[in-house]
Amino acid sequence: MHLVAFAVFTCTLASCTKESEAALNIAESENVTEVEQELLNTVNDHRISLGKNGLQFNSAAYRHANAHTDYMIAKGAINHDNFTARATDISAETDAVFVAENVAKDYSTATQAFQGWLASTKHKRTMEDDFTYTAVSVKKDADGKLYFTQIFYR
Q: Each residue's pLDDT tens digit in the chain (154 positions)?
A: 444 344 334 333 433 344 455 555 677 888 999 999 999 999 999 999 999 999 999 999 999 999 999 999 999 999 999 999 999 999 999 999 999 999 999 999 999 999 999 999 999 999 999 999 999 999 999 999 999 999 999 9
- Note the Cα 122 to chain centre separation in Å: 13
Mention every residue, 6+ apart, whose C-beta is less than 8 A from residue 32. Answer: 138, 139, 140, 146
Give dist(CA 70, CA 141) in Å, integer: 9
Helix (H/G/I), strand (E/B), else coil: 59: helix
In this predicted structure, what is the pLDDT of residue 5?
45
| pLDDT score recorded for residue 29 | 84
In angstroms, how far is the first alpha carbon of the chain from the final one?
A: 13
Is 72 part of a structural domain of the chain? yes
- What was the pLDDT predicted at 15? 38
Is 138 within the bounds of a domain?
Answer: yes
Contacts of residue 136, Cβ cutoff 8 Å, sequence gap at least 6? 36, 37, 39, 40, 43, 62, 65, 148, 149, 150
On whether residue 71 sits in a domain, the answer given is yes
Q: Which own/partner contact pairs does 117-126 have at CB distance under 8 Å and 24+ positions apart?
A: 118/46, 122/12, 126/100, 126/101, 126/102, 126/152
Question: What residues form DSSP beta bridges with 137?
Answer: 149
| Domain range enclosing 139 | 33-153
Kindly report the CATH number assigned to the domain that includes residue 61: 3.40.33.10
In a domain, 7, yes or no: no
This prediction's pTM: 0.85
Looking at the domain assignment, is residue 64 inside a domain? Answer: yes
How far CA 123 is from CA of 21, 30, 43, 53, 66, in Å, comes to: 24, 25, 11, 17, 19
- The pLDDT score that the predictor gives to residue 6 is 42
Strands 99-105 and 56-57: unpaired
Strand order in the sheet with 99-105: 56-57, 133-140, 146-153, 99-105
SS3 (DSSP) at 31: strand
- Structural domain count of the chain: 1
Question: Does 122 fall in a domain?
Answer: yes
